[in-house]
Amino acid sequence: MVLFIVLTTILVCIMVILIMLGIGYLIRVHKAKMFVLSYELLKIYNEHNPENELEYKNEVFKEIEDILSKGI
């Protein structure tokens, strides 16, 4: 009986750790996708408005840094 409780506890701990690692991975993937998406939007914007490129780029990268520094 004691062996069953110990094995169950170990199994639950392993499952919790794997779930936490999976959630962390999904958060990193989501942040990477958002970064790529914002870069693609920046490219599209710059194709239509090349005269404001530098100013807009600085503004977008500040927003991206703010989002990434806050985390989830």
What's the pLDDT score for residue 54?
A: 66
Break the chain into its structural domains and give their ranges. 2-70
Contact 45, 54 (CB under 8 A): no
pLDDT band at residue 19 under the 50/70/90 scheme = very high
Cα–Cα distance measured from residue 60 to residue 42, given in angstroms and rounded to the nearest whole number: 8
pLDDT band at residue 49 under the 50/70/90 scheme = low
